[in-house]
Amino acid sequence: MKVSFRTGFIAVLGTVGTILSLGGLFSPATAFSDKNLSISALSNLRAFAAAEAMMALFALYSLAKKQYQDSALIFLLISTIGWTIGQVLSYFADGKPTSLVVISIVVQAAFIPLTWMALKKK
- pTM for this entry: 0.83
Selected residue with higher pLDDT from 43 and 33: 43
Q: Which of 21-30, 42-51, 52-61, 64-73 has the lowest mean pLDDT?
A: 21-30
pLDDT at 33: 66
| Domain-wise residue ranges, the chain | 5-120
pLDDT at 23: 84
What is the percentage of the chain residues whose pLDDT exceeds 90? Answer: 57
- Residue 42 — pLDDT band, cuts 50, 70, 90? confident
17 neighbors 25 (Cβ within 8 angstroms): no
Selected residue with higher pLDDT from 43 and 113: 113
Query: Is the per-residue pLDDT at 78 higher than 80?
Result: yes
